[in-house]
Amino acid sequence: MTFSIKPIFALAILAAIITSAYASGPLRVLKTNPRYFTDDSGKAIYLTGSHTWNNLMEITRPGLNPNPVVDFGAYLEFLKSHHHNFFRLWTWESPAEFDASGAVKYRYSPLPYERPGPGAASDGSARFDLRLFNSAYFDRMRERIITARDDGMYVSIMLFQGFSLNNKGHDDPWPGHPFNSHNNINGIDGDPNHTGGGLATHSLSIPAITALQEAYVRRVIDEVNDLDNVLYEITNEDEGSTQNTAWQIHMIQLIKTYEAGKPHQHPVGMTAQYPKGSNAVLSASGADWISPNEEGGYQSDPPAADGHQVVINDTDHSFYYLSLQKAGLAAQRAWAWKNFTRGNQALFMDPYLDPFPWDMSDRNHPSSSTPDAYWDTLRNAMGDARVYADRMDLANMTPQNALTSTHYCLANPGHEYLIYQPLAGDFTANLQAGIYNYEWFNPVDHAVVSTGSFTAATGIRSFTPPIKSDAVLYLKAFMPHGAR
Protein backbone atom coordinates (compact mmCIF):
# COMPACT_ATOMS: atom_id res chain seq x y z
CA MET A 1 0.00 0.00 0.00
CA THR A 2 1.23 3.47 -0.87
CA PHE A 3 0.81 6.26 1.67
CA SER A 4 0.67 9.95 0.83
CA ILE A 5 2.74 11.81 3.39
CA LYS A 6 1.48 15.33 4.10
CA PRO A 7 4.35 17.82 4.46
CA ILE A 8 4.84 19.56 7.79
CA PHE A 9 4.03 23.23 7.40
CA ALA A 10 6.80 25.82 7.34
CA LEU A 11 7.42 27.33 10.76
CA ALA A 12 7.12 30.93 9.55
CA ILE A 13 3.65 30.33 8.06
CA LEU A 14 2.36 28.73 11.23
CA ALA A 15 3.89 31.47 13.36
CA ALA A 16 1.98 34.10 11.40
CA ILE A 17 -1.26 32.22 12.03
CA ILE A 18 -0.51 31.64 15.71
CA THR A 19 0.41 35.23 16.59
CA SER A 20 -2.92 36.48 15.26
CA ALA A 21 -4.93 34.21 17.59
CA TYR A 22 -7.37 35.71 20.07
CA ALA A 23 -8.39 34.44 23.49
CA SER A 24 -11.55 32.35 23.40
CA GLY A 25 -12.87 32.71 26.91
CA PRO A 26 -10.90 33.10 30.16
CA LEU A 27 -8.08 30.69 30.91
CA ARG A 28 -8.67 27.79 33.24
CA VAL A 29 -6.54 24.80 34.19
CA LEU A 30 -6.84 21.99 31.65
CA LYS A 31 -8.27 19.14 33.72
CA THR A 32 -6.93 16.34 31.54
CA ASN A 33 -3.39 17.81 31.53
CA PRO A 34 -3.11 20.39 34.32
CA ARG A 35 0.39 21.46 33.31
CA TYR A 36 -1.37 23.89 30.97
CA PHE A 37 -4.28 26.27 30.77
CA THR A 38 -7.09 26.01 28.28
CA ASP A 39 -9.98 28.21 27.14
CA ASP A 40 -13.30 27.60 25.41
CA SER A 41 -11.44 26.05 22.48
CA GLY A 42 -10.45 23.08 24.65
CA LYS A 43 -6.84 23.16 23.41
CA ALA A 44 -3.81 23.55 25.66
CA ILE A 45 -2.58 27.16 25.79
CA TYR A 46 1.19 27.56 26.10
CA LEU A 47 2.22 30.87 27.68
CA THR A 48 5.60 32.50 27.12
CA GLY A 49 6.95 36.01 26.78
CA SER A 50 9.11 38.93 27.83
CA HIS A 51 8.08 41.42 30.49
CA THR A 52 9.67 44.68 31.54
CA TRP A 53 9.45 46.95 34.58
CA ASN A 54 7.61 49.94 33.10
CA ASN A 55 5.02 48.33 30.87
CA LEU A 56 2.21 49.81 33.00
CA MET A 57 3.68 52.68 35.02
CA GLU A 58 6.18 55.34 33.98
CA ILE A 59 9.52 55.20 35.78
CA THR A 60 11.64 58.34 35.78
CA ARG A 61 15.03 59.20 37.25
CA PRO A 62 15.26 62.83 38.32
CA GLY A 63 18.57 64.25 37.19
CA LEU A 64 19.85 60.95 35.81
CA ASN A 65 19.65 59.01 32.55
CA PRO A 66 15.90 58.75 32.00
CA ASN A 67 14.02 55.54 31.55
CA PRO A 68 12.36 55.59 28.14
CA VAL A 69 8.61 56.04 28.13
CA VAL A 70 7.27 52.75 26.81
CA ASP A 71 5.41 52.98 23.52
CA PHE A 72 2.96 50.25 24.42
CA GLY A 73 1.97 49.51 20.83
CA ALA A 74 5.62 49.13 19.85
CA TYR A 75 6.17 46.88 22.89
CA LEU A 76 3.38 44.57 21.74
CA GLU A 77 4.83 44.48 18.23
CA PHE A 78 8.17 43.53 19.76
CA LEU A 79 6.52 40.64 21.61
CA LYS A 80 4.70 39.47 18.48
CA SER A 81 7.91 39.58 16.46
CA HIS A 82 9.29 36.92 18.81
CA HIS A 83 6.03 34.89 18.81
CA HIS A 84 5.38 35.72 22.46
CA ASN A 85 1.86 35.72 23.88
CA PHE A 86 2.18 36.57 27.59
CA PHE A 87 3.67 39.18 29.90
CA ARG A 88 3.48 40.36 33.49
CA LEU A 89 2.02 43.85 33.87
CA TRP A 90 4.24 45.46 36.48
CA THR A 91 2.99 47.62 39.31
CA TRP A 92 4.84 49.63 41.95
CA GLU A 93 3.29 50.71 45.25
CA SER A 94 5.53 53.63 46.16
CA PRO A 95 5.63 56.84 44.11
CA ALA A 96 9.37 57.25 44.72
CA GLU A 97 12.58 55.67 45.89
CA PHE A 98 15.22 57.58 47.84
CA ASP A 99 19.00 57.31 47.89
CA ALA A 100 21.13 57.27 51.04
CA SER A 101 21.10 61.07 51.25
CA GLY A 102 17.29 61.20 51.13
CA ALA A 103 17.06 62.51 47.57
CA VAL A 104 14.48 61.05 45.18
CA LYS A 105 16.19 58.55 42.86
CA TYR A 106 13.18 57.09 41.01
CA ARG A 107 9.57 58.17 40.51
CA TYR A 108 6.62 55.95 39.54
CA SER A 109 3.24 56.98 38.14
CA PRO A 110 0.29 56.68 38.01
CA LEU A 111 -0.58 55.05 41.34
CA PRO A 112 -3.93 53.58 42.47
CA TYR A 113 -4.73 56.32 45.01
CA GLU A 114 -5.59 60.00 44.64
CA ARG A 115 -3.29 62.64 46.17
CA PRO A 116 -5.47 65.59 47.23
CA GLY A 117 -3.63 66.42 50.47
CA PRO A 118 -3.72 68.44 52.60
CA GLY A 119 -0.02 68.52 53.27
CA ALA A 120 2.98 67.18 51.41
CA ALA A 121 4.27 63.61 51.33
CA SER A 122 7.93 62.69 51.53
CA ASP A 123 8.38 62.93 47.76
CA GLY A 124 7.18 66.54 47.71
CA SER A 125 3.74 65.89 46.19
CA ALA A 126 0.44 66.04 48.05
CA ARG A 127 -0.39 63.34 50.56
CA PHE A 128 -2.58 60.37 49.62
CA ASP A 129 -6.22 59.86 50.52
CA LEU A 130 -6.49 56.09 50.68
CA ARG A 131 -10.28 56.25 50.45
CA LEU A 132 -10.06 57.61 46.89
CA PHE A 133 -9.00 55.52 43.92
CA ASN A 134 -7.17 57.17 41.05
CA SER A 135 -9.21 56.30 37.97
CA ALA A 136 -6.23 57.09 35.68
CA TYR A 137 -4.41 54.03 37.04
CA PHE A 138 -7.29 51.64 36.51
CA ASP A 139 -8.21 53.14 33.14
CA ARG A 140 -4.65 52.66 31.90
CA MET A 141 -4.59 49.09 33.19
CA ARG A 142 -7.82 48.20 31.43
CA GLU A 143 -6.85 49.96 28.21
CA ARG A 144 -3.52 48.15 28.00
CA ILE A 145 -5.06 44.76 28.68
CA ILE A 146 -7.64 45.34 25.95
CA THR A 147 -4.93 46.42 23.52
CA ALA A 148 -2.94 43.31 24.43
CA ARG A 149 -6.02 41.13 23.96
CA ASP A 150 -6.53 42.51 20.48
CA ASP A 151 -2.94 41.49 19.68
CA GLY A 152 -3.45 37.96 21.00
CA MET A 153 -1.63 38.53 24.31
CA TYR A 154 -2.39 37.26 27.80
CA VAL A 155 -1.59 39.58 30.71
CA SER A 156 -0.83 38.77 34.34
CA ILE A 157 -1.86 41.71 36.52
CA MET A 158 0.70 42.21 39.27
CA LEU A 159 -1.33 43.45 42.24
CA PHE A 160 1.40 44.29 44.78
CA GLN A 161 5.17 44.82 44.79
CA GLY A 162 7.72 43.46 47.25
CA PHE A 163 10.37 45.92 46.07
CA SER A 164 8.13 48.80 47.20
CA LEU A 165 8.34 47.87 50.88
CA ASN A 166 12.01 48.01 51.81
CA ASN A 167 15.50 48.37 50.46
CA LYS A 168 16.57 45.13 48.76
CA GLY A 169 19.90 46.32 47.51
CA HIS A 170 18.49 49.16 45.42
CA ASP A 171 17.17 52.44 46.80
CA ASP A 172 14.65 52.83 49.62
CA PRO A 173 10.96 52.98 48.62
CA TRP A 174 9.40 52.98 52.07
CA PRO A 175 9.75 56.72 52.82
CA GLY A 176 7.41 57.42 49.86
CA HIS A 177 4.93 54.58 50.30
CA PRO A 178 1.23 55.53 50.61
CA PHE A 179 0.94 53.41 53.77
CA ASN A 180 3.81 55.26 55.44
CA SER A 181 2.16 57.42 58.09
CA HIS A 182 3.88 60.57 56.74
CA ASN A 183 2.26 60.18 53.33
CA ASN A 184 -1.49 59.74 53.89
CA ILE A 185 -4.28 61.70 55.53
CA ASN A 186 -6.06 58.59 56.84
CA GLY A 187 -4.00 57.78 59.92
CA ILE A 188 -2.61 54.62 58.34
CA ASP A 189 0.77 53.47 59.66
CA GLY A 190 2.30 50.54 57.85
CA ASP A 191 5.31 50.40 60.17
CA PRO A 192 3.87 50.52 63.70
CA ASN A 193 6.99 48.87 65.14
CA HIS A 194 9.30 51.47 63.54
CA THR A 195 11.39 48.96 61.62
CA GLY A 196 12.12 51.42 58.84
CA GLY A 197 10.30 49.29 56.26
CA GLY A 198 6.82 48.24 55.23
CA LEU A 199 6.95 44.45 55.49
CA ALA A 200 4.03 44.53 57.94
CA THR A 201 1.79 45.87 55.17
CA HIS A 202 2.08 42.55 53.32
CA SER A 203 0.89 40.58 56.32
CA LEU A 204 -2.45 40.33 58.09
CA SER A 205 -1.18 42.14 61.17
CA ILE A 206 -2.80 45.53 60.45
CA PRO A 207 -6.54 44.99 59.75
CA ALA A 208 -7.09 48.53 58.47
CA ILE A 209 -4.43 48.02 55.80
CA THR A 210 -5.76 44.58 54.87
CA ALA A 211 -9.19 46.16 54.35
CA LEU A 212 -7.71 48.81 52.07
CA GLN A 213 -5.84 46.16 50.09
CA GLU A 214 -8.96 44.06 49.74
CA ALA A 215 -10.87 47.05 48.40
CA TYR A 216 -8.08 47.68 45.87
CA VAL A 217 -8.09 44.04 44.70
CA ARG A 218 -11.86 44.13 44.28
CA ARG A 219 -11.55 47.35 42.27
CA VAL A 220 -9.03 45.70 39.94
CA ILE A 221 -11.34 42.72 39.46
CA ASP A 222 -14.30 45.01 38.77
CA GLU A 223 -12.27 46.72 36.05
CA VAL A 224 -11.16 43.59 34.19
CA ASN A 225 -13.50 40.71 35.02
CA ASP A 226 -15.11 40.85 31.57
CA LEU A 227 -11.75 40.44 29.78
CA ASP A 228 -10.67 36.97 28.66
CA ASN A 229 -6.89 37.50 28.57
CA VAL A 230 -6.38 38.16 32.30
CA LEU A 231 -4.40 36.33 34.96
CA TYR A 232 -3.56 37.62 38.45
CA GLU A 233 -0.26 37.61 40.37
CA ILE A 234 -0.44 38.52 44.04
CA THR A 235 2.93 40.23 44.37
CA ASN A 236 6.49 40.34 43.07
CA GLU A 237 9.20 38.91 45.33
CA ASP A 238 7.90 39.68 48.80
CA GLU A 239 10.29 38.66 51.55
CA GLY A 240 9.52 35.10 52.59
CA SER A 241 7.95 34.66 56.03
CA THR A 242 5.00 32.80 57.53
CA GLN A 243 3.23 36.15 57.92
CA ASN A 244 3.68 37.07 54.27
CA THR A 245 2.68 33.61 53.10
CA ALA A 246 -0.55 33.81 55.09
CA TRP A 247 -1.28 37.22 53.54
CA GLN A 248 -0.67 35.95 50.00
CA ILE A 249 -2.90 32.91 50.57
CA HIS A 250 -5.57 35.25 51.94
CA MET A 251 -5.38 37.35 48.76
CA ILE A 252 -5.55 34.25 46.56
CA GLN A 253 -8.70 33.16 48.36
CA LEU A 254 -10.14 36.68 48.19
CA ILE A 255 -9.79 36.75 44.40
CA LYS A 256 -11.31 33.31 43.97
CA THR A 257 -14.22 34.10 46.29
CA TYR A 258 -14.95 37.51 44.78
CA GLU A 259 -14.75 36.28 41.20
CA ALA A 260 -16.96 33.28 42.01
CA GLY A 261 -19.89 35.69 42.11
CA LYS A 262 -18.97 37.31 38.80
CA PRO A 263 -19.40 36.23 35.16
CA HIS A 264 -15.76 35.19 34.70
CA GLN A 265 -13.06 33.53 36.77
CA HIS A 266 -9.36 33.91 36.02
CA PRO A 267 -6.20 32.05 37.11
CA VAL A 268 -4.42 33.32 40.21
CA GLY A 269 -0.65 32.99 40.59
CA MET A 270 1.90 33.11 43.38
CA THR A 271 5.49 33.85 42.44
CA ALA A 272 8.74 33.27 44.29
CA GLN A 273 9.35 35.10 47.55
CA TYR A 274 12.70 36.88 47.88
CA PRO A 275 14.71 36.65 49.96
CA LYS A 276 13.95 33.56 52.07
CA GLY A 277 11.66 32.02 49.50
CA SER A 278 10.76 28.34 49.24
CA ASN A 279 9.16 26.57 46.31
CA ALA A 280 7.34 24.30 48.76
CA VAL A 281 5.39 27.36 49.92
CA LEU A 282 4.28 28.05 46.36
CA SER A 283 3.21 24.45 45.90
CA ALA A 284 1.06 24.55 49.03
CA SER A 285 -0.48 27.97 48.34
CA GLY A 286 -3.62 27.02 46.45
CA ALA A 287 -2.54 29.19 43.50
CA ASP A 288 -3.45 28.03 40.00
CA TRP A 289 0.01 28.86 38.68
CA ILE A 290 3.41 29.46 40.23
CA SER A 291 6.81 30.86 39.27
CA PRO A 292 9.53 29.11 41.30
CA ASN A 293 13.01 30.19 42.30
CA GLU A 294 16.12 28.25 41.28
CA GLU A 295 15.59 25.48 43.86
CA GLY A 296 15.31 22.04 42.32
CA GLY A 297 17.16 22.87 39.12
CA TYR A 298 14.90 25.50 37.56
CA GLN A 299 18.00 27.43 36.50
CA SER A 300 19.84 24.68 34.60
CA ASP A 301 17.89 21.40 34.54
CA PRO A 302 14.23 22.15 35.30
CA PRO A 303 12.22 19.30 36.79
CA ALA A 304 9.31 17.90 34.85
CA ALA A 305 5.99 19.52 35.70
CA ASP A 306 3.76 17.08 37.55
CA GLY A 307 0.47 18.89 36.97
CA HIS A 308 -0.02 19.96 40.57
CA GLN A 309 0.00 23.57 39.32
CA VAL A 310 0.83 25.29 36.07
CA VAL A 311 4.54 26.17 36.29
CA ILE A 312 5.72 29.35 34.58
CA ASN A 313 9.48 29.44 35.03
CA ASP A 314 10.52 33.11 35.04
CA THR A 315 14.15 34.20 34.81
CA ASP A 316 13.21 37.04 37.17
CA HIS A 317 13.12 34.48 39.98
CA SER A 318 15.16 31.49 38.79
CA PHE A 319 17.92 32.75 36.47
CA TYR A 320 19.30 36.20 37.37
CA TYR A 321 20.80 38.16 34.49
CA LEU A 322 24.38 37.78 35.74
CA SER A 323 23.91 34.01 35.76
CA LEU A 324 22.34 34.14 32.30
CA GLN A 325 25.32 36.06 30.97
CA LYS A 326 27.80 33.74 32.68
CA ALA A 327 26.02 30.66 31.31
CA GLY A 328 26.18 32.03 27.76
CA LEU A 329 23.89 32.04 24.75
CA ALA A 330 23.77 28.28 24.21
CA ALA A 331 22.67 27.71 27.80
CA GLN A 332 20.08 30.48 27.53
CA ARG A 333 18.62 28.86 24.43
CA ALA A 334 18.71 25.43 26.06
CA TRP A 335 16.88 26.77 29.11
CA ALA A 336 13.84 27.63 26.99
CA TRP A 337 13.73 24.25 25.25
CA LYS A 338 14.41 22.30 28.43
CA ASN A 339 11.49 23.98 30.14
CA PHE A 340 9.23 23.32 27.18
CA THR A 341 10.06 19.62 27.01
CA ARG A 342 9.64 19.31 30.77
CA GLY A 343 6.09 20.69 30.66
CA ASN A 344 6.96 24.14 32.06
CA GLN A 345 6.24 27.50 30.49
CA ALA A 346 8.88 30.24 30.39
CA LEU A 347 9.16 33.99 30.95
CA PHE A 348 12.09 36.38 30.52
CA MET A 349 12.73 39.44 32.72
CA ASP A 350 13.54 41.61 29.74
CA PRO A 351 15.39 44.92 30.20
CA TYR A 352 13.89 45.91 26.82
CA LEU A 353 14.79 49.59 26.16
CA ASP A 354 16.08 50.54 29.59
CA PRO A 355 19.70 51.68 29.01
CA PHE A 356 20.79 51.26 32.62
CA PRO A 357 18.23 49.07 34.40
CA TRP A 358 18.54 49.73 38.12
CA ASP A 359 21.96 51.28 37.51
CA MET A 360 23.37 47.98 36.19
CA SER A 361 25.22 49.23 33.14
CA ASP A 362 26.34 45.75 32.04
CA ARG A 363 22.79 44.42 31.75
CA ASN A 364 21.44 46.04 28.62
CA HIS A 365 22.65 48.03 25.62
CA PRO A 366 19.68 49.09 23.48
CA SER A 367 20.09 51.45 20.55
CA SER A 368 17.38 54.11 20.65
CA SER A 369 14.14 52.18 20.02
CA THR A 370 15.91 48.90 19.22
CA PRO A 371 16.31 46.41 22.10
CA ASP A 372 19.70 44.87 22.79
CA ALA A 373 20.09 41.97 20.33
CA TYR A 374 22.19 40.04 22.86
CA TRP A 375 18.97 38.85 24.51
CA ASP A 376 17.38 37.75 21.22
CA THR A 377 18.74 34.23 21.63
CA LEU A 378 16.53 33.68 24.66
CA ARG A 379 13.61 35.66 23.25
CA ASN A 380 13.68 33.66 20.02
CA ALA A 381 14.00 30.29 21.73
CA MET A 382 10.92 30.93 23.87
CA GLY A 383 8.94 32.01 20.84
CA ASP A 384 10.09 29.04 18.76
CA ALA A 385 8.97 26.67 21.51
CA ARG A 386 5.60 28.37 21.56
CA VAL A 387 5.17 27.93 17.80
CA TYR A 388 5.68 24.20 18.21
CA ALA A 389 3.37 24.13 21.22
CA ASP A 390 0.57 25.60 19.16
CA ARG A 391 1.18 23.16 16.30
CA MET A 392 1.10 20.08 18.49
CA ASP A 393 -1.75 18.37 20.27
CA LEU A 394 -0.21 19.69 23.47
CA ALA A 395 -3.24 18.75 25.57
CA ASN A 396 -2.28 15.07 25.17
CA MET A 397 1.48 15.46 25.55
CA THR A 398 3.42 15.00 28.77
CA PRO A 399 7.10 15.06 29.77
CA GLN A 400 8.60 11.65 28.93
CA ASN A 401 12.24 11.90 29.99
CA ALA A 402 12.82 8.15 29.85
CA LEU A 403 11.88 7.86 26.17
CA THR A 404 15.08 9.51 24.92
CA SER A 405 18.75 9.47 25.82
CA THR A 406 18.67 13.29 25.87
CA HIS A 407 16.13 13.22 28.75
CA TYR A 408 14.17 16.10 27.19
CA CYS A 409 10.99 14.93 25.51
CA LEU A 410 7.33 15.84 25.29
CA ALA A 411 5.32 12.96 23.92
CA ASN A 412 2.01 11.30 23.30
CA PRO A 413 3.66 7.94 22.60
CA GLY A 414 2.80 6.49 19.26
CA HIS A 415 1.30 9.75 18.07
CA GLU A 416 3.61 12.71 18.60
CA TYR A 417 7.06 13.44 20.03
CA LEU A 418 9.19 16.56 20.44
CA ILE A 419 12.74 15.81 21.52
CA TYR A 420 15.43 18.32 22.45
CA GLN A 421 19.10 17.40 22.12
CA PRO A 422 21.04 20.06 24.09
CA LEU A 423 24.43 18.85 22.80
CA ALA A 424 25.62 18.16 19.28
CA GLY A 425 25.60 14.47 18.40
CA ASP A 426 23.52 11.33 18.05
CA PHE A 427 20.79 10.26 20.44
CA THR A 428 18.20 7.52 20.78
CA ALA A 429 14.43 7.49 21.26
CA ASN A 430 12.09 4.70 22.24
CA LEU A 431 9.22 4.83 19.74
CA GLN A 432 6.04 2.89 19.15
CA ALA A 433 5.58 1.34 15.75
CA GLY A 434 4.13 3.54 13.04
CA ILE A 435 4.79 5.79 10.07
CA TYR A 436 6.10 9.19 11.18
CA ASN A 437 6.61 12.54 9.56
CA TYR A 438 9.78 14.10 10.95
CA GLU A 439 11.12 17.60 11.13
CA TRP A 440 14.56 18.75 12.24
CA PHE A 441 14.71 22.23 13.69
CA ASN A 442 17.88 24.26 14.20
CA PRO A 443 17.44 26.30 17.41
CA VAL A 444 20.50 28.44 16.63
CA ASP A 445 19.10 29.76 13.36
CA HIS A 446 15.52 29.04 14.52
CA ALA A 447 14.76 27.40 11.18
CA VAL A 448 13.55 24.04 9.90
CA VAL A 449 16.46 22.32 8.11
CA SER A 450 15.06 18.94 7.10
CA THR A 451 11.72 17.09 6.78
CA GLY A 452 10.64 13.67 5.63
CA SER A 453 9.08 10.43 6.82
CA PHE A 454 10.09 6.96 8.02
CA THR A 455 8.58 3.73 9.24
CA ALA A 456 9.43 2.75 12.80
CA ALA A 457 9.23 -0.55 14.62
CA THR A 458 8.52 -0.55 18.32
CA GLY A 459 11.71 0.01 20.26
CA ILE A 460 14.81 2.14 20.44
CA ARG A 461 15.87 4.02 17.31
CA SER A 462 19.01 6.09 16.77
CA PHE A 463 18.94 9.59 15.29
CA THR A 464 21.72 11.70 13.81
CA PRO A 465 20.84 15.40 13.71
CA PRO A 466 21.72 17.22 10.47
CA ILE A 467 22.93 20.08 12.71
CA LYS A 468 26.27 20.62 14.40
CA SER A 469 24.75 22.16 17.52
CA ASP A 470 21.76 21.55 19.74
CA ALA A 471 18.75 20.25 17.82
CA VAL A 472 15.01 19.70 17.99
CA LEU A 473 13.31 16.67 16.44
CA TYR A 474 9.56 16.77 15.92
CA LEU A 475 7.78 13.52 15.04
CA LYS A 476 4.12 13.12 14.19
CA ALA A 477 2.53 9.79 13.31
CA PHE A 478 1.02 9.69 9.85
CA MET A 479 -0.44 6.24 10.44
CA PRO A 480 0.05 4.54 13.80
CA HIS A 481 0.91 0.86 13.75
CA GLY A 482 -2.13 -1.31 12.98
CA ALA A 483 -4.15 1.45 11.31
CA ARG A 484 -5.72 0.72 7.91
Say what the pLDDT of residue 8 is.
42
pLDDT at 66: 67
Taking 70 as the threshold, does the pLDDT of residue 363 lie above it?
yes
Give mean pLDDT, residues 158-169.
96
Q: C-alpha angle 314/18/393, rounded to 5°?
A: 80
For the chain, give the mean pLDDT: 94
Predicted local confidence at residue 368, as pLDDT = 86
Q: Partners of 156 in the beta sheet?
A: 88, 231
Architecture of domain 11-397: Alpha-Beta Barrel (3.20)
- The C-alpha atoms of residue 15 and residue 474 are separated, in whole angstroms, by 16
Encoded amino acid at 189, one letter: D
Instruction: Look at 215-224, 359-368, 407-416, 446-455 and tell me which has the smallest mean pLDDT.
Output: 359-368
Q: Residues near 351 by Cβ (< 8 Å), separated by ≥ 6?
A: 52, 321, 357, 363, 364, 366, 371, 372, 375
In this prediction, residues 111-131 reach a mean pLDDT of: 98
pLDDT, residue 7, reads 38
Domain made up of 401-480: CATH architecture: Sandwich (2.60)
Under the banding of pLDDT at 50, 70 and 90, the label for residue 21 is low
Q: Where residue 358 falls among pLDDT bands split at 50, 70, 90?
A: confident
Indicate whether 1 pLDDT > 60. no
Contacts with 197 (C-beta within 8 Å, 6 or more apart), sequence order = 165, 166, 167, 174, 191
pLDDT at res. 67: 72
Which tens digit of pLDDT belongs to each residue from 295-321? Answer: 999 999 999 999 999 999 999 999 999
Interatomic CA distance for residues 201 and 207, integer angstroms: 10
Q: What is the pLDDT of residues 325-334, one digit of tens each?
A: 999 999 999 9
Please name the residues in contact with 371: beta carbons below 8 A apart, sequence gap of 6 or more: 78, 350, 351, 352, 353
- Entry field: residues in the chain: 484
Q: Tell me what pLDDT residue 479 has.
A: 62
Domain ranges of the chain: 11-397, 401-480
